[in-house]
Each structure stands twice: as C-alpha cells, then as structure tokens.
Structure 1
Amino acid sequence: MVVTQVDSTSLDRITIIPSVTSEINAVAFIHRAIVAASLLVFALVGLLGNALVIISVIVGRRLRTITNVLVVNLAFADFMACTFLPFQSAGLLSQTRRYPLHEAVCAAVAAVGYISVCCSVHSLVAIAFVRWYVITKSIRGHQGLHTPKKIAIMVVIIWIISISFMVIPPVLGIGTLGYSEYYSLCSLTDTNELETYFILLQGALIANALLLTLVFYIRILCHVLQHNKQFRDKYAVDEDTGSNSTEASSSVSAGSHPPMIKAINRKEIEITKNLFMVVCVFMLCFLATIVNFFIPGSSVFTLYSTMITFANSVVNPIIYGLKHPNFQEIFNQILFCRPVR
C-alpha cells in the first residue's frame, strides 16, 4: 500500500508539472486582456484621427504645403498601423497558445507594424530637414530642395528604406515574423535564435534617425537664437545713446521687409514647435521599450511597453488638433459637417 501511494503521488506530480510550466511560459491572461482592450481603443481613435489629418490636407487649401506632404505620409503610416491593431488584440485574447487566424496573417501584421514604425521615424527626419531648410535657407520655402517633386522622391525613399530594413532580415533568417507564444503578440517568434540581431538592427535604425532629427532641430534653435539677437541688435532702442523711440519705430516701419520677415519666421517657428512636440512624444513612447531592452529576461513590462509604443500612432492627430490652428479649424469643420473654406 505504501508503494502504491508513493507511485500515485509521483504520477500526480508528473501530470501537474507540465501544466504549471505552460502557465509560467505565457503572460497572464488578465494582462493580455488589458492590453488587447487598449489596442482596440487605440485602433478606433487612431483610425479616426489619422483619417482626419489626411482628409484635412486634401480639402483644406491652407494645409497644402510641402511640409504637410510628409505629415500626410506620417499619418498614413500611423493609419496603416492602427488598421492592424485589432489583429494584435485577437492574438492577445487567444487561450490556445496559437494565433486564432492563419500564421501568414500574423506575419503580415508583424511586418506592417515594423514597417510603419520605421516609416514614421524616417518621416520625422524628413520633416525636421524640411523645417530646417525652410527656416534657415529659404523663408519663402518653394525653391531649391524644397519642391513637390523632390519631396515625393523623399517619400518614396522613406518607404523603400522602411520595407527593406524590416522585411529583408527575416527573409535572410535574422528573426522570424510570426506569433510569440509568450507575449501572444504578432512580432517575432520565440524559436529563432537570431531574433536579438533583428531587434538590435531595428533599435539602431530608430536611434540613428531620432539622433539625426534632434540635430536638425538643434540647428534650427541655434539659427533662431542668432537671428533674434541680430534683430534686437539692429532695431532695439539704445537707451544708453538716448535714441528716440519714435525715431526707432519710424525707421522700422519705413522698411516693410524686416517686420514681414520677422512675422514669417514666427509662423514657421510655431509650426516647427508643434512638429518637434510630435518628435518628443515619439521618443517618450519608445522610452519604455528602450528601458525594457536593457532589463534581462522576459516580463509583463515588455507587453505594456509594447502597448505604449503602439500609442504613438494615436497621439499625433491629437497634437495637431490641440496645437496647430489650421488643423484645428479644419478638424472642427469636418467633424461638424460645415463647409471647409
């Protein structure tokens, strides 16, 4: 009897161990459900917001600028990412440790996610370059490199780079796009040993692009500070020499060019500030992912940091609606079904 009891106990333990291991090797369902619900909300808000940005530039004459061609490209990449977020939610809610749809669908969802991120970050680089060129090289903004044809070429190059760097490595065996059983996400499978190299490649690409973006905005800041200093030195009233304020004001009003240049710069600087805010939000959304990358091992924090990264596709239209007066006005006209002037 004793031997029989021992054998049955050992058999019970053998049957229990696999079930415990299977639970450990997957993120708890409650966390996956929270992230899945959040992604569905992101998809709804992001599709509406990015569609508004695209439609506003099409129907609003004042928004048909060279810079906004790149803004539309950024909105289209975010719109594409939001379109596939419900497919991510389907994988998160699966309790079978398998993707509920065909594996090819999951691989396509992962590819679109990586491509949209790469396209977004390189669109930010292009926007920063155009802002730098408009403010420092050509205030009127329609000569030299700042032409529709060259901006269109820039957009094509952005998409070629995005597709190449996000699709060719998996084709060569560096990472496999598919379903991650641990996180229940369409990203990289858990079986490819070279997936770390794919993540490093993607991270280096995004880091270099953000660094280049910051360089352009720093150069804009330096130019604006220098310009303002020159303007103050030339037109400010020199109290030490006893200059008359009336005389100074008449000298400024006598030449119509300097005030006009200053007004144009202020408008361009406001636009640049709003676009730089988009860059800052992009960096904040990826900050959690960067921190998580340096934490060894898998954790629930990885799932939530991925959710924060997906949020980047939603916030840009909100920034335009709150901060950009032209977008704000046309958003209201479209949402309230009023004719766009």
Structure 2
Amino acid sequence: MKSFPFVLSRDWLFALVIALICGLLALINLSPVPSAETGLHARALVTQVDNSQVRVNLIVKTEDQFLIVRLLNGPYEGQELAVTNMLTGKMELDEFYEEGQVILVEYGVKNGKPANGMARGYYRLGLELMLIGIFVVLLIAVAGVTGLKAALSFVFAALVLWKVFFPLVLLGYPPIPCGLALVALLTGVITFSVGGLSRRGIATFAGSMLGVSLTCTLAVWSVNAFHLHGAVRPFAETLLYAGYYDLRLTDIFIASIFIASSGAVMDLAMDIAASMDEIQRNHPGIGLFEHLTSGLRVGRAVIGTMTTTLLLAYSSSHIAMFLLFMAKGLPAANILNAPFVAAEVVNILVGSFGLITVAPFTALVAAFLYRASMHGSVSR
C-alpha cells in the first residue's frame, strides 16, 4: 500500500510529460509546403438558395449553386454574404444545400465587408469537438488516470502522424524506416503510458515490435510477389499529379500495412502481457514453462476474434466496391485478381500474420522477464 501514492504520482507525471509533448508537436511545422493563403472562416446560416445555374443529369449535379448566408460568428457576425457552392459532378465530394442549413464558409474582406464567399461543407466541427469531449470524459470516468493517459496517447498518435510522419514522407524520407520509427515511438508511448514502466510495459513493447517487424517483412515480400504498387490506394495518383513525382508510393503502401495493424497488435500484446503479469502475481513460484503455456492459452482465446476484427475493419470500408462487383455480375476470380482487391487481401492477411505471432512473442518475452525477476534481475 505504501507504493500506491508513488505509482499514482508517476502516472500523473507521465501524463503531464505526454501532454507537454503534444503541445510542442502542435506548434512545430515540418511540412515542405507553405500553408495555403486562406480567408476567414465562419459558421453561416443559409437564408436564400439560387439553383438556376445548376445542371442536373440524372443524379449528378454540376455547375454553381449560389447562396445567401448570414454569418453566425467571427468579426462580421450577423452580416449577410453571397456564397458560391461549386458542384463538380462527383457525389463523394459535392454537397447540395437548402435554406435553413448551417454550413462552413470561407470568405475575404473587401471595402470593410465580407466578400467572395465559398462554401466548405456542412458545419461539422462543433459535433466533432463534442464527440471528442465525450470520448475523453468517458475514458477518464471508466479508467481514471489510465483513461487520461489513453486519451493523451490518442492525441499524441494523431499529432505524430500529422506533424511528423506525413511531412517527412513528403520531404522524401524513406517511408518504411520512418514508418517503423513512428510505430516504435507510438508503441513505446502508448504501452508504457497504459502498462506502466514495468515488466508488463516492456513485454508489451517488445512483443508488439516483434509482431510489427514480422508484418513489415511479410508486407515487403507480398507486395513484390503480388506485383502491386502504391497507386492502388485512393488519391495516390493524384498526389503524383500534385508535383510529388519522386514519392515512393509502393513503400508508402507497405508502411500503411504495418502501421494500420500496429494498433491491433498493441492491443493483443497488452492483453497477453497483462495476463502474464496477473498469473505471476497470483502464483509467484510458477515455472518458466508453465507461465509461458498459460500465456499461450490466453493468446489462443483472443487471436480468433482479433483476426476477425481486422477482416471486418478493413473489408467494411469497401462495401460499396464489393456491391458494385456483385451488381455487375463479375466472377469471383476476376474480383480477387483485380489489383486493388489483391491489395486489400494482402493488407488483411499480412496484418493478421503479425497479429497471430504477437501472442507467442509477447508470452515468450514476458515469461523470461518474470523468470529473471525471480532471481532479482528485473525490479517489479
């Protein structure tokens, strides 16, 4: 009981450090592209709609929709502004507005008045912030300081991706080594923040990185064996047209495979490490082989559902694609042999290989760590 305040203070100190790092990440800018010059942004209520210039071809709308909106915040709150909503004919990008809806507008200033307004979509920022707030509150309410650390780890992961990994790739750094370094950093922060600076945290980190390393190796082999390239990913070709001709799209695709699976790998590694820790606490004199066997039993129980989780998570984002193939009556051989479908098969199966192997990796590392601690080599 005497060690509880120390553990608690150490948890809060770790959370404070991660919060400070998140603050620093939010301030840095490694992007090789200067920020585009934009105008002011504000919520706006659509008060009038002019669809006279909109051309409708079946379900596709093109040309311009003209709106009159009333600004709801910002320096020109309450003033009206003419806004143009450009329709490109692509339903995944276009939005069609009606009176009474609230949208985000971007505008400039001319002669002291708002002008040249452009519609930037339905206003969703408030709801997004609300969901983030509910998510953080729920985490803290359920898990206490551990939930706070988990929320900070979530923010940290998003900032590292946006502020570090993406800019480095655009700058020409190799995506695979950068991706491995990114996963190692995120895995370290997340596992040690949740699992603590202990044998449980060390076992989770080591098992996770072994699983991710195997996933990376298999991804490199599979992408070459399947004759796949990074352009199978959405917006990859558009990125080349944007002027980044030297980007290694295939390496970016490989990095995306092991980065995408790293979260599930960490989850399973933490399950195994926590189980191994609990087993050792309740049976301090357990032998190495018995401890390892118990960890593997836990791993077998979890692996089945986790691999299905990966399958559902990946395939559900392509439901429309599979429905289209079915609607066209294409045979299964044609579907599975298509490059973009083969890319998803590689994504799912290679990620699952790493997920399956992380259980024995973590159990083996944990068994040896706890065995060494019984001889005084590792402190609890």
TM over 0.5: no
TM-score, structure 1 normalization: 0.29
Q: Which has the higher strand share?
A: 2
Q: Which has the higher helix share?
A: 1
Higher RCO (C-alpha 8 Å, min separation 6):
1
